[in-house]
Structures are given as structure tokens and as C-alpha cells.
Amino acid sequence: MVHSFVHLHTASAYSAHYGVSWPEELVQAAVADGADAVANTDRDGLYGAIKHVKACMAAGVDPLLGVDLAVLEAVEGGAAGRGAGPQALVECGRVVILAHGGQSLAAGAGYAALCRLISSAHARPRGPVGLTLDELAAGVLDPHTKAPALTVLLGPFSDVGRAMNGRRYLLPRSKFRAWNAAMPPGTLAVEILSHLSAPGTPLSTTHAVRLLKLAEEFDVPAVLSNAVRYGSAEDAPTADVLDAARAIAPLRHVDDLQPTGQGWLKSAEQMRKIAREILHQGGFGTAELTQLWTNTHQLADKCRLDPTTDLGWKKPTTPEASVLGLTQEPAAELWQRTNAGLSHRFPGLRGKELEDVRVRLTTELDTINELGFASYFLTVAEVSEMIRTMGVRRAARGSGASSLVNYLLGISAVDPIANDLLFERFLSRDRSTLPDIDLDVESAQRHNVYHRIFEKFGSQRVTLMSMQNGYRARGAVRDAGLALGMEQGEIDGIAKDLWRFSASSFREAMAEKPELRDFAARVERNRMAGMGEGQLDLLVDLTERLDRLPRHISMHPCGVILGDSQLLNRTPVQASGMGLPMSQFDKHDMDAMGMLKLDVLGVRMQSAMAYAVREIIRLHPSKSDVVEAGNHPVDAAGEGPAYVGEGGHIDLDAIPLDDEPTFELIRSTHTLGCFQIESPGQRELVGKMAPREFNDLVIDISLFRPGPMKSNMVKPFLENRAGFAPARYAHPDLIPALQETHGVTVFHEQVLHTFHIMTKCSLSEADEHRRRLGNPAQEPAVEKTFRDKSTANGYSQAVIEEVWETLKAFGSFGFCKAHGAAFAVPTYQSAWLKAHHPAEFLAGLWEHDPGMYPRRLLVTEARRMGIPILPLDINASTGEYRAERTVGDVIGIRLSLADIYGLSGAELKRIVAHQPYDSLADLRDRGKVSRPILKRLAQLGALDSLQRQAQGISGNTANRADLVAHVNSLPAATPSRRQIMEGQLHLPLGELELGGLPALLPALTPAETVRTELDLLSLDASAHLMTSYGPLLARLGVTTSDRLLGLRNNSEVLVAGVRVATQTPPMRGGKRVVFISIDDGTGCVDATFFTEAQDKSGPLLFGTRMLLIRGLTRRTGPRGISLQALEAWDLSATDTLPLPPVAAAWGPAELH
């Protein structure tokens, strides 16, 4: 007889470092065995719950939800060794808690109780995560009806089960009695399970028998489970590796490895057999077997959840009207506000043009109201306005810019009419999920913004979204290596060569990738040698097993969930890294749960720009000063532009979008530090494309995407644009849609237009077609519709064929023009700042470090631009990189104390608070600087000014090395000494101290100074770090970056520098191309490594910092040149370099 079985205790992969299989796999395994329901009970939370429900719905079975939680017990602090006071809470066991469904309770009450219970288990600020028995007992009832809302499964992992070890017969019983007494009736069940371990050991059948007997004795229903951790028996070894990763110990040292590998999702038949075995061993008969089976299914039935009524599946939820301060219907409010926005945004519009805008607005509002989303837009507008009033820079990004409503509400700054952005791309009647509106804010203000959102809407309505961080290749190989007990150094050596591929294709990568060649050879040798010489083959297998498995949950970089007052009944929350509560759901769960997610993304570039604007005001505190400094246009009356305020404040959102110096800067390809266009590939593209207007930037940003790069749109576009080839249109009807990109389809919007023009479908239908492109299951239907309708509309087969090929190639890859337009705004603004106020702009970049490059490259950029780099100075430097006026009114940038290695925030604050200092003693006394920091300050030259000042009086000639030696010889300060010093040592002694140092040591060489700066500051401030390689480079015959542009195309050269960026963008044909950018002090060289060059360079490709590259120049445009690499060397391995065969090789002067 075939029985179906419902698994009540199932951990998915979302139980980090515990579960092995994805919810879909577990559900499929259950369904394949004929189950009509299956539970998900992840550890500590509902991390996999929504994915589980989705999988159950797709399979047509009922979902059950629960959690596997620790039960906490107070112990004496001393015994726990936690030092947390007399009593500390420690985990004494784990139980499963299942939510009851609407069948036995008010709909949603069981699920809500589960969410709240989990949140309270996470509520202790210092942990541990879990609940005491009392807390648990208090949380299992529905607060409104007092009916049981949850069932606790007391099984072998509980304190009762654990008490069975060591032949203690009384302890389990007394513990069980405590549970039975504490839990309200109808909320407790006993979980019987056997993993068939050796008799008398944990998870053995004998233990199951004893638990069953306790259940009998206390008349608590017993249910059967298998405490599932993986879908199939093959996955058991992965669970072992996860046990080791959890314990952070090699497998051989982990003492709580699963006792057997029996924790898979067993079939009903296998479960029946286990049940029989347990009951038989316990001396029970068929009646009890039937009872156990029946209990299990009765509990399962009680816990079946209806996604719609229990979870509110897909029902959009927004804050209540009252919270938004509305006194009328949201739809009426939205109508009123957008109409008010018309006169503000389109002041000059009249007649037909105004009418067109009104029609568009009506269309948008109709769609929004039909979907019931008015309050959603009002909510976003509320947040956006709140950020504005905080004085924080913000910008809408993404497809939200397509909406006129967003523009009128002030959410987006991009005019969708002027830029031809389509609302249908953003929202349509054919999709009922909440649209995404993303807001970029200054990164440094992001947390403040979050706090304000919580205050404004109330913490019961707001929570941060989380994200799951899964194993990638490097992490997987590290944990696999740890499990196998390999040496840290060896694992590190392997991990460093793993570069951007998924761990699951490790073996494949070993066969293909040159940087893994050495490793592959070692594995091969290892295999030949047999066992004993390491376990590299096993390492590769285990790494592949770990691929993508979630490791931990963290705060999503931007998602904020806004709901109504019931939000915390719908998602469990836990503390995030920044303290605010964070949902256990990630972005994939939002639509399913109808949750409104607002992306408030911290963008460092916005902080950098805001900083630059403040620095400009600080140095030029009036409108006329700023106009003069920035060379801004003045009118006939000598009055500067309106975007510069009287106090010198520049309104970046109001600067004109046709500023010639800005475009000239962009065309020069010196765009390091500019938003979106600073990468090597982008610098090459802007060099080729030579943007002349704002829309060119929109196109440029949209072209530089995987889709267009892969489908080779870039080349025809550039050729057509340059006039080398005439633009080609498959049919004249398409000219209006494709003209701006010279016949090449770049934007999603153009695909929509193409469908609309040729098939006469609506734009909203066209967007549905677009979304199905590239999906093998759905594309054929789109193709048929396209061909049929276009034919009916009189287009020739040749035209249809050509257009379809374009659409098909476009797939779902292209870019939404609204995204490009939204991105182009900060791109343009940053380029504008770099063109007009370079020093202040670079100071902002150094301060907020927004780009893809290390800060030291932006220091090099300042050097290239002739901006003075002002050294650290104990009196002139602060905790920020500040613009500073130097001789001749040139603006330089003063290095910040903040990035000195090891300097704590408190020390920094203290130093800055007591500036200026008149002597070393003064600095010690009032700044209370510790000796190691004092030494670093001396090494970095920050005390030079004090020394010079003292020497000016005494005529002493000691140098920085003498000063460092002196500081080094000072006794370590003790608290008592310091107090004496405060009273006595202040006045003249300091000057004597620095003014009277013995001059003993030779002066530091520039190379030594640079090395110290790199070590302590991570940047080379006094000179470029390549300077000391000068003699070596001269012997090699290296060409510098600034001279490359003067060379003929296809010249063979040697270049050398320090690596600043490595990229492996997706490429046409799927072949990997590696871009490596090096900086040689005169600028960047961007080298492209194709397959053969990768092969020749092997392991150097990713691991080496200082590179020598031989390659051919490739002219990329009037101002652009790059290198096609042929071979690379490690510049610091002098003996391997292709030096001309003279004398012995000589190394770089003392640098490496």
C-alpha cells in the first residue's frame, strides 16, 4: 500500500551553513513521491519561506511554514563563561514551531504569530537568537482569540532529547514535564524521528522509542518526521561540509557532525518503514503505528496555509492614507498634485503641446488608478520630498524616470516628454506588481535618511530589506579547504586565482582558464600520486557542492519596505548591521508578498559632489568668487548664472546641459572620477563616440551594457554616427523610432516602438512582447504574433525577417532609455564639476572614494592635472581631504589624517579638536597621541612643520629620520606620567626637544618615503610609486602613457605600471577578454588581453600588482589609444624581465 507522507521538519538551503537543498528541489522531491503538502522550517527564520510557498504553488501542493529555533535557558554566568552578569542565556536545545492555517483559526493568525515569535527570538541586542520556554509559551496563542496559533514540536534536538544521552532516565522526564506544564493545551507535539544511528546514540531508533514512550505517558500527540536537511541521499556529504563551515573547524575536529547521512527527504514508503521499526522496537503494535501516522497528517492538515488568505499573497500593501496625511481619496490627491506640477514643470507650454502632455498625464493616471497604486506614488513622493527637505542630494534612477507622474511629483528630474521615455515601459495594466522607483541619495546620508523614514512612517510600518549572500568561488574553496583541514596559506594561494566564475563550474574553469593552469596541473599530479599528498580533487568537488548556497543574510544596500500597520505580522524582522530592523525577506519575496519596496541607494558620487559644492563655497564664499574661479559665463551686466547662489552655492540640478567645457573634458577621455564613464571600456567608448550633447551621454551609457556589447550594436552605431556608413533602416516607417541612434536598436523604448509600428499593438502590449524576448518558452509565440500582424499590415517578408532578427538578438538585454537618462544626469554633473572646479571635485572624490579605482589613482590624476597635493601636516590637515589655497591662488588638496593606518576615530577627533599645536610636547599633552601614532605621524611627515618651526629658531639640522628615531625612543606614556606632563612640560621644552635633536641619520630616500606612504596611507603622496623604477624602466625601454597617443597605430611597445583595475566584461562570442589598467604616473594604460595573451601571462593575470606589458597600440578614436597585450611580466620579479642582455639585472631602487 502506498501512503503519502507530509514532511513537517525540513530545512532548506536558506538555513545558512545547515540546509543543503533549495526549496524548489525539496518540494519537487516531495511531490514526486506523491505528497500533497510539505513544510519549510528553516533555522532561525523564514528565510526560504516565500520561495517555498512559490514552489508549492507551482507544484499544486499546500505549503506549511515553520521555524527551527533555539530554546534558551538561564545559567549562572560563571559556568557559561560569557561574563554577561550573574545569569546568561544559553541554548539548551532546538525545537520546530509550525504555524496553524486558516482551517483551524482566523485566516492569517497562525502565520502572524509565527512572524512575531521569530522577531522576538531575534530581539536581544547581543543575542543569542532564541526563546526561553516562557517566551515561547506566551507566543503560541493568537492574541485576539487565545486559540492555539502555533504547534511546537519537541524532538530529539530539544533539551528533552538531549537529556537522553548518558543513560539518564529521570532527566528527560522532568524536562518533558516542564514543557507539558508550560505550554498551553493544543500547542505541543512530540517529534519522533530516527536517523538510524547506532543504538543508544543521538538520532537512533532507541532514542526515538524513549521519546515516543514519554509522549504516551504524558498523552501528548506524537508525530513522525525526518528532520530533513537535503533533498536526496547524495547530498549528505555537503551537509558535513556545512557542519564544518558552521563550526569553523576541519571535519575531523567537528564534534556535532550529523551522526549519519540519513537526513534526506525520504519517501513515504521509507518513512513508513522507519515508523514500523521504531514502533516494533518499542513493543508497540499496528494501532500505535496508525496513530502516529494519523497524528502526523492531522497536524499537517491543521498547518496547511492558503497563500492568499493566510499570507496576503500578491496583494499590494501601502501605508494608510492617514499616515500620508491625506484628507481625500488617494486618487483625487494624486490628480490634484500632478496637475499642480504641470504649471511648475512646463511653465511655457500652451495649446497643442500642453494638450499632449495632459493626455499623457490622463493615460498614466488612469492606469495607476485602475491598478490601485495611487497611494504608492504618493508614498514615494512623500519620501522623496522628505529627503529634499533634509537638504540631501537625491536623484531618481531606473525606469521610474519614464513616468510623467514621477516627474510632476518631483520624484524624478528627467523630463520624460523631451527624452521620449515611455510610461508603458514602467507600468502597464498587463502587470499588477508594484513598480520599482529607485532613489539615489548621498551615501554619507543614507543611514540618516533611513532613520527619518522610520520616524516618519512609524517602526511598525517600515523595515529594511535583506539580501542573501551565497557562496562564490573564493569563499567556497576557502570553506571546502577548511573542512578538509588544508593549510590556510595553501587555500589562500588557490583562492587568489579564482576569478569570477561560479563555484559549480570549477572543474570546467580549471580546463579553460590560464590562471588556473598551475593549479590544474597540481590536481593532476596529486591524482597520479594517489592519496596522502593532499586532497585537491576532493577540494574541487566540495567547492562545487557549496556553490551559491546562502552563507549569511545582510542588509540590502538600498531596499526599504514600507507597509501598513500590519507589516510586522507579515514578515519577521531582525537587527541589521546598522541597528534598524531588517526583514528576513529578500527582493525576490517582495512581489509575492505584495510588499512595497523603495530603493534608497547610497551613492558615493552624490556625496562627493555635495562635498565638492561645499568646498567651493568654503574657498569662494560669494557668487562672484565662484563665477570667477569656475570660469562660468556672465551676462552683459557682469552677472553670473542663476545656478550659482549669492553665497556661492551651486545648484547642480539647474546647470545647463549644453556646457561646452564639460563636453570637451568628456571627449578628452580624461574622465577618471566621472560617474559611469571612468572605466577603461567607457573611456575608450567616449573617445570613439565624442559626445556633443546630453542625449549622446544617454546613448553612450546605454550602449556600454552587456546586451549591446554582446549583440555588436556598438560598431555599426559608431560607424553610422561618424558617417563612415549610411544609417540603415529596414523600413522607412521605423525611421522616427530609430533615428537618434542611427538605425541601431539600443533602447527598450525603441523595441516597443518597433512592435507598435509594425503590429499596431499598444505600447503596453509591446512591452509584454519585449519581456518575452529571449525566453525560449515564450519567444516563439511573440515571433508568430509579430510575423502574422506585420504581414497583415503589409510589410514584406524581407523587412519582417530583418526586423525580427534585430528584435531577437536584442532579447531582453537592451537598456531602458529611462535608466540611461537617469544615469546621465550625475554623469554630466560630475564631468561639469571636474571641468570647472577640479580641485574641489577631486577633494570630494578622495573624501568619499566613489569610483572603481583605488584612491591613489585619483591622486595620480591630480598630479597629472597639476593640482598640488599638500602633504600631511599636524596643524593643517584635518579629518577630511580639504581643498586649500596655495601660493599664486592655485587650489591644492590637503591630505587627510583620517586614512592613517591604525588611527582610531577617537584619536582623530582629539587631534583635530586641539589643533593647532606648537610643539611635540604640546601634541603629546593636549592631543594625547599614542606613541605608535606619533611615530606614524612623524614617518608621514606630518610633524615636519613643527620640526622646521623649532629649527628655525635653533638652527638645528636634524632630518625626518632623526625625528622618527627620537619619537621611537620616547618612553611609552603611562597615565600617571601624562598627568604630570600636563602640568609641567608645556612651554619652552617642546621647542628645545625638536630644535635640539642630534642630526645623525642619512635623509630618507624618495623611494623610502613613498613606501612608507603606501604602507601607512595606502597612497603615494610625495611622488608616484613608479618613480623609483625609473632606471629599470629606462633599460627596458618602456613607453609612458602620455607618449602613447603620439605613436602610430599598431606600434609594439613595452609599458609598465601599477595595476588599478581588472575587468572581465561579457563579450560577443562568449570568449573571455580581460581588461587590465595600469597607472604609470603619467596616466592610465588600458591593456586588453585576448585568449592568447591570457595564455602567455597565466597566473600573472590576476595576482600581480606591478606589471610590465608588451603590446600593440590600438587607436580607438581621435583622443583615445589602448593596448592590445601580447605578454605580461611581474615587474617586481626582476630576473624574469626581458632585459637587454647586459650586466647583471638591477632591481628598482629599494622599493621591492
Partner 1 sequence: MGTFSDGIDVVQTAAGTPLHLLWQGRSYTLAAEPLRWYERRNWWDEELRAPLGTGVGLVDREVWRVQVRRDGAPPGTALLTLDLVKYLPAERWRVIKVHDAIHEANEPTAANNPEEEQGYGA
Question: Which residues of this protein are in contact with partner 1, per CB under 8 A?
Answer: 91, 162, 165-167, 195-202, 204-205, 233-240, 251-252, 255-262, 273, 483-485, 504, 527, 530-531, 535, 537-538, 541-542, 544-545
Contacts of 913 (CB under 8 A, 6+ apart): none
Nearer to partner 1, 485 or 780 (CB): 485
The number of beta carbons lying within 10 Å of the beta carbon of residue 157 is 22
Nearer to partner 1, 531 or 887 (CB): 531
Q: What are phi and psi of 107, to 5 degrees?
A: -55, 135
Buried b (16+ CB within 10 A) or exposed e, 949-974: bbbeeeebebbbbbbbbbbeeeeebe
Nearer to partner 1, 192 or 751 (CB): 192
Nearer to partner 1, 202 or 312 (CB): 202
Nearer to partner 1, 538 or 876 (CB): 538
The number of beta carbons lying within 10 Å of the beta carbon of residue 552 is 11
Nearer to partner 1, 256 or 646 (CB): 256
Please state, in angstroms and rounded to a whole number, the distance separating the CA atoms of residues 568 and 334.
28
Report whether 1093 contacts 1127 (CB < 8 A). yes
CB of 274 to partner 1, least distance (A): 11
Strand partners, 70: 94
Contacts of 963 (CB under 8 A, 6+ apart): 938, 943, 944, 947, 994, 997
Nearer to partner 1, 162 or 748 (CB): 162
CB of 25 to partner 1, least distance (A): 12
Instruction: Extract the C-alpha cell encoding 1115.
Output: 587607436
Nearest in space to 1060 (alpha carbons), one of 856, 864, 867, 841 = 856
Instruction: Extract the C-alpha cell encoding 610.
Output: 555635495
- DSSP for 42-108 reads EESS-TTHHHHHHHHHHHT-EEEEEEEEEEEEEEEHHHHT--SSSEEEEEEEEEEEEE--TTSSSTT
CB of 480 to partner 1, least distance (A): 10
CB of 283 to partner 1, least distance (A): 13
CB of 478 to partner 1, least distance (A): 16
CB of 196 to partner 1, least distance (A): 5
Nearer to partner 1, 209 or 985 (CB): 209
Buried b (16+ CB within 10 A) or exposed e, 653-688: eebeeebeebbebbbbbbbbbbbbbbbbbbbbbbbb
Nearest in space to 744 (alpha carbons), one of 821, 651, 661, 807 = 807
CB of 254 to partner 1, least distance (A): 8
Nearer to partner 1, 17 or 748 (CB): 17
Q: Strand (E) positions, 423-535?
A: 438-442, 462-470
CB of 195 to partner 1, least distance (A): 7
CB of 48 to partner 1, least distance (A): 20
Nearer to partner 1, 231 or 1081 (CB): 231
Residue length of the chain:
1152
Residue keyed to cell 588544508: 486
CB of 165 to partner 1, least distance (A): 5
Nearer to partner 1, 277 or 288 (CB): 277
Handedness of CA 1102, 1107, 1108, 1112 (dihedral sign): positive
Instruction: Give start and end residues of each alpha helix (H) in 1072-1113.
Output: 1091-1097, 1100-1103
CB of 560 to partner 1, least distance (A): 38
Please state, in angstroms and rounded to a whole number, the distance separating the CA atoms of residues 914 and 929.
11
CB of 12 to partner 1, least distance (A): 18
Buried b (16+ CB within 10 A) or exposed e, 166-184: eeeeeebbebbeebbebbe
Please state, in angstroms and rounded to a whole number, the distance separating the CA atoms of residues 449 and 447.
5
CB of 260 to partner 1, least distance (A): 4
Nearer to partner 1, 541 or 719 (CB): 541
Handedness of CA 791, 796, 798, 802 (dihedral sign): negative
- DSSP for 271-318 reads HHHHHHHHHHHTT--HHHHHHHHHHHHHHHHHT---HHHHH-TT--B-
Q: Helix, strand or coil for residue 1106?
A: strand
Nearer to partner 1, 70 or 685 (CB): 70
Q: What angle do CA 715, 720, 723 make, to 5 degrees?
A: 125
Please state, in angstroms and rounded to a whole number, the distance separating the CA atoms of residues 29 and 61.
12
Instruction: Extract the C-alpha cell encoding 1031.
Output: 632606471
Nearer to partner 1, 251 or 876 (CB): 251
Nearer to partner 1, 501 or 853 (CB): 501
CB of 231 to partner 1, least distance (A): 12
CB of 483 to partner 1, least distance (A): 7
Nearer to partner 1, 74 or 792 (CB): 74
Q: What are phi and psi of 442, to 5 degrees?
A: -60, 130
Buried b (16+ CB within 10 A) or exposed e, 1090-1126: eeebbebbbbbbbebebbbbbbebbbbbebbbbbebb
Contacts of 961 (CB under 8 A, 6+ apart): 1001, 1002, 1003, 1004
CB of 93 to partner 1, least distance (A): 9
Nearest in space to 447 (alpha carbons), one of 596, 590, 582 = 582
What Å distances lie between residue 777 and 58, 772, 810, 950, CA to CA?
16, 9, 17, 80
Nearer to partner 1, 260 or 1063 (CB): 260
CB of 244 to partner 1, least distance (A): 9
Instruction: Extract the C-alpha cell encoding 731.
Output: 523600413
Nearest in space to 1121 (alpha carbons), one of 1130, 1111, 1129, 1131 = 1111
CB of 212 to partner 1, least distance (A): 18
Nearer to partner 1, 249 or 763 (CB): 249
